[in-house]
Amino acid sequence: MREPKLRRSVLVFARDPEIGRAKTRLIPSLGAIGATRVYRRLLDLALIAAANTNTDRRQLWLDRATTDEQLLRQAEKLGFEQHVQTGDDLGARMHNALTSALGQADQAIVIGSDCPAYRPDYLNAAFETLNTKDVVIGPAHDGGYVLIGLKHPAPELFREIAWGGPTVAAATRTRLEQLGLSWQELETLHDIDVPADLAAFPAFLTELTPESKKEA
């Protein structure tokens, strides 16, 4: 008897890209407009990668409701449902979003909007990993992670983690061991958070005009 097809959801976590709100650690080097331009490109790359993944549902989870017409048009064009994150910290917000998605899916992965290296095959590999593991992680070079995926809600996996620091992935591994969950890690990727990260991605700077590097 043929097994039923797994239902899969991909979630993109993002910020409302209002000037001055996104990539604030890049502002001293690029200015508010330049930092926002970098962020918009990062978000666009994440959305395109997710849209070309073998999934049943695509969801964009923003940190607040947006009126940004450029983003709204792009999300609609690529077939993303739009949601607003809820929770007191990043861990709670990811847990709540994943739990919501898993209410209508067998597997769900969440990615951020800081990594220019997302590819459809990378995201598809995450889903394939969940065929045999409880959790999949895509580590980041800075000690965090650029992807996490589950097939069952795991609230303890997201509690009391020092989000934004260099120990996120290590603390998550420890928590996985404590919870007795099986997991597998994908290729480690770079993300862009601070000016030094841009050195690995010079194309982001070549697209910025001198005017865009100035403060708004």
CATH number of 8-204: 3.90.550.10
- Cα–Cα distance for residue pair 16/167, rounded to 1 Å: 26
Q: What is the pLDDT of residue 215?
A: 41
In angstroms, rounded to a whole number, what is the distance separating the alpha carbons of residues 133 and 7? 16
Which pLDDT belongs to residue 6? 83
Helix (H) or strand (E) holding 37: helix 27-51
* Residue 166 vs residues 93, 144, 156, 202: alpha-carbon distances, Å: 19, 6, 20, 24
Task: Locate 60 and state its tokens.
Answer: 């964009």
Picking from 175, 178, 95, 185, the residue whose alpha carbon sits closest to that of residue 140 is 185
pTM, two decimals, is 0.92
The burial of 95, by beta-carbon neighbours within 10 Å (0-12 exposed, 13-18 middle, 19 or more buried), is given as buried
What is the Cα–Cα distance from 189 to 79, expressed in whole angstroms? 26
In the predicted structure, residue 4 carries a pLDDT above the cut 90: no
Residue among 196, 90, 104, 193 nearest 148 (CA): 90
Each residue's pLDDT tens digit, 201-212:
877 666 654 444
Q: Is the confidence at residue 26, as pLDDT, over 70? A: yes
Tokens of residue 6, six digits: 């797994």
Q: Which of 170, 182, 123 is nearest to 145 (CA)?
A: 170
Distance, in Å, from the CA atom of 44 to the CA atom of 160, rounded to the nearest integer, reads 31
pLDDT digits (tens, 9 = 90+) for 150-187: 999 999 999 999 998 899 999 999 999 999 999 999 99
What is the pLDDT, as a whole number, of residue 213? 43
Whole-angstrom distance, CA of residue 177 vs CA of residue 171: 10
- What are the φ and ψ backbone dihedral angles of 9, each rounded to 5 degrees? -125, 135
H or E stretch covering 143: none
More confident residue, 30 or 12: 12
pLDDT average, residue stretch 128-143: 97
What pLDDT shows up at residue 200? 82
Given a cut of 90, whether residue 214 has pLDDT beyond it is no
